[in-house]
Structure 1
Amino acid sequence: MAKKSRTKARESAPAPGEVGPRQPCPCGSGKRYKACHGAEGGDVYVARPFEGLPGECDLVAMRELVPSATAPLTIKGHDDRTVQLCSLLPAASPAMHRESGQVWLGLQVQHSFGDPSRDLAAVLEAALASTEPEVIGLTTPPGPGPRLQDLVTSETLDVTVHEGFDFWLADLDDSDELSAAMEQANEGAIPTRRLSSVEAAYWCDVSTKEHLRWVMPEPEDALLTALARLHVAGADVIVPDARFVGMFRAHGLLAPVWDLPLGTGAEVLDEPAAAFKAALDEALADTSDLTSEQRSARSGLANRQVTIR
């Protein structure tokens, strides 16, 4: 009788577009997929959770890059109410039913159950159903149900960037205690401005440096190739003495980052950003083979990505 093989059966290769069990989890945890979002009974990982929503790139920016911003949302079945989408709420709350009756939805939260869109929809529905002022959050996975795409009826996302968090008190009476707490919160807000000439590009000042962070909707492979063409051509500099330093990867999108000379400010960036967007669109449309120099540049760009989990 032949001996049974002691070699374990090889795990089947993943289908195109899927993540293999031994591959790094795309959430950025550093674990293998089978020990993270691919674990039995684990949360389903959605690589691009905000796809299809109006202002997807701005949503990603508000969730990961912008300290203080708001945008109104209209919700199916609640035409008489406007939900205020916020980058950050007090204590990183997921949602709040305010004393004024307003519903606020927070993007920057401390939980993550694999699909931020489903998480947001769950707390939003709970906040809309609430009849008393309260904070609504998630302590366990929300389970099956609608995603934000199923609830939002807004056709655009009109983002307002704030200098601090004074909007937290917009519907409350003033008090010395609240004013003191607000002053402390505002001290931690990084000055940020949204450019008006292009989508989802944000200037910020971190005191020792200024940056331009720009969330882009193009597929990663195509965007890397186009940026490599521009880099080799010396056309990836937004303003003189600026430096393209790398990219964030967040929620299925890339956000290129430039270091800017101190004192640049946001006001001078609109025109050069629009010119760069035109050059980028031209590079994206270029289907010619990359030169060896461009391939090398593309490899270097791919290595300068930081995944935001």
Structure 2
Amino acid sequence: MAKRSAVKSKKTTDGINPRQACPCGSGKRYKACHGLTGGPVEVPVGRPFEGLAGECELIALREFVPSATAPLALSVNTDRAVTLSTVLPMAAAALVRADGSAFVGLQVQTRSSDVGRDLARALRWALDAKPGDVLSVVGPETEDGERERLQDLLDVKAELNPTLHSDFSWWLPEDEEPTGEVALSLERANQAIMPTERIGPAAYWVDAGDRAHLRWVRPEPEEQLLFALARLHAKGELGLGEGSRYAGSFRAHGLLVPVWDLDREQHAREWTTQAEELGARLDEALASLEKTPLTSDERRARDGLISRQVTIR
């Protein structure tokens, strides 16, 4: 028994138990992740978009909106307009068209522990690149590399107003036909797209095939939002009406994203009013928390909601 205990408590030179979850957030044990590769452990930045008025929209566009674009309000001096995109051809990090218009992609492989910093580096590249250039990936950062974050390059008070697209035809100018790898990438992307509509700020209706969902990125601190959701749940007011039910929530980049199952026979726009009414009930419940603590029924409801949480980032 003594020998077995010694093995369990053995730690690496980093002071990390090999059997514990890797601090990088991969979900793997340390010994099967950074402990195996011998690489340094970089703990991901919890809220890479914190401080930006468009934080919730950025998370939605990165995590589950398939095809969308949004103009960026830059805080740096430049004559070049830059468009934020969910996905670019070949999952590029950024590109500049022949006409000089620039695009930066959100759904790309990250190369550091800070998604916001990687995006800022792609944006800085797009501001300086020549027409026709493509940045496939954001390269590895050196010790004396650029430390800018997205918050350093954008107007932090500017809201993000995305335009959703039914396919990825916007990848190319109107008079240009896709060829080669771009054509194949475009075909694959269009085949995989799930119909999605924005029915409110950071609130998206998604048709997942067998059912539809409402995925709503909320700006409130997780504990506070859970308390408000529990208060509504205990009162039977957490749904959006007939044909809906609260499914659970997931964490993404430091914020909570509640999810509702919806009757997919109803059009997305038929849920807009119900979503607005639910938002009003949530605001009222959040305000009531300052004066009234949770009751025993509401605490039980909160525990049930917590059991249906997952983390994806």
Partner of 1:111: 110
> 1:1-309, aligned counterparts within 5 Å?
24=21, 28-31=25-28, 41-136=40-135, 137-141=137-141, 143-153=145-155, 155-170=158-173, 173-174=176-177, 182-195=186-199, 198-287=200-289, 288-309=292-313
- Residue 99 to residue 254, structure 1, CA distance change in 2 (3 Å): same
Cα separation, 2, equivalents of 1:81 and 1:134 = 14
Structure 2 Cα separation of the partners of residues 111 and 64 of structure 1: 13
Amino acid in structure 2 at the alignment position of 1:166: S
Structure 1 position 87, deviation (Å): 0.7
Q: What one-letter code is carried by the residue in structure 2 that aligns with 1:53?
A: L
Q: CA RMSD in A?
A: 2.8
The runs of 5 or more residues in structure 1 that have no matched partner are 1-6, 11-19
Higher share in helix: 2
Question: Judging changes above 3 Å, is the alpha-carbon distance between structure 1 residues 228 and 59 closer, same or farther for their aligned structure 2 residues?
Answer: same
Q: Distance in 2 between matches of 1:212 and 1:25?
A: 32
Question: Structure 2 vs 1, CA of residues 166 and 40 (structure 1 numbering), >3 Å: closer, same or farther?
Answer: closer
Return the alpha-carbon distance in structure 1 between the equivalents of residues 186 and 237 of structure 2: 43
**8 Å contact 1:26–1:47 — kept in the other structure?**
no
Other structure's SS at 1:170 match: coil
Contact 1:210 1:264 in 2 (8 A): no
Distance 2:184 2:90 in 1: 16
Measured in 2, the distance between the counterparts of 1:292 and 1:164 equals 48
Q: 2:50 corresponds to which letter in structure 1?
A: E
Measure the CA separation in 1 of the matches of 2:234 and 2:107. 37
- Which amino acid is the alignment partner of residue 191 of structure 1? P
- TM normalised by structure 1 equals 0.85
The count of aligned residue pairs is 291
Select between 172-181 and 198-207 the one with higher mean Cα deviation.
Answer: 172-181
Q: 2-side partners of 1:180 and 1:88: how far apart? A: 14
> Aligned-pair distance for 1:219?
0.2
CA spacing shift, 1:36–1:229, aligned 2, 3 Å: farther
Matched residues in 1 for 2:101 and 2:109: separation? 22
Pairwise CA distance, 1:158? 1.2
**Displacement of 1:78 after TM fit?**
3.7
Q: Which amino acid aligns with 2:26?
A: S
Partners of 1:83 and 1:172 lie apart in 2 by 21
Q: Deviations over 1:35-73 (max 9, x none)?
A: 769x98433521001011131101000000100010001
Q: Secondary structure at the match of 2:246?
A: strand
Q: Which shows bigger deviation, 101-110 or 183-192?
A: 183-192
Structure 2 residue ranges without an equivalent (≥5): 1-5, 10-14
Distance (Å, rounded) in 2 between the aligned partners of 1:120 and 1:44? 17
SS of the residue 1:74 aligns to? coil
3-state SS of 1:157 partner: coil
Q: How far apart, in 1, do the equivalents of 2:183 and 2:46 lie? A: 40
Question: Within 2, Cα distance between the matches of 1:236 and 1:302?
Answer: 15
Deviation per CA, 1:75-130: give whole Å up to 9, x if none: 23344221010011112111112222111110000224111110011121122211
| Contact 1:192 1:204 (C-alpha < 8 Å) held by counterparts | yes
Quick one: structure 1 residues 187 and 100, their matched pair in 2 at CA, closer, same or farther if it must change by over 3 Å? same
Deviates more, 1:204-213 or 1:122-131: 122-131
TM-score, normalised to structure 2, is 0.84
- Once residues 25 and 289 of structure 1 are traced to their aligned partners in structure 2, the CA distance between those partners, rounded to angstroms, is 36
Q: How far is the alpha carbon of 1:179 from its aligned partner?
A: 6.3
Change (3 A) 1:180 1:63: closer
**Letter aligned with residue 264 of structure 1:** Q
Q: Which residue is equivalent to 1:14?
A: none
Q: Is the 8 A contact 2:116 2:150 kept in 1?
A: yes
User: Alpha carbons of 1:264 and 1:26: their partners in 2 closer, same or farther (altered >3 Å)?
Assistant: farther
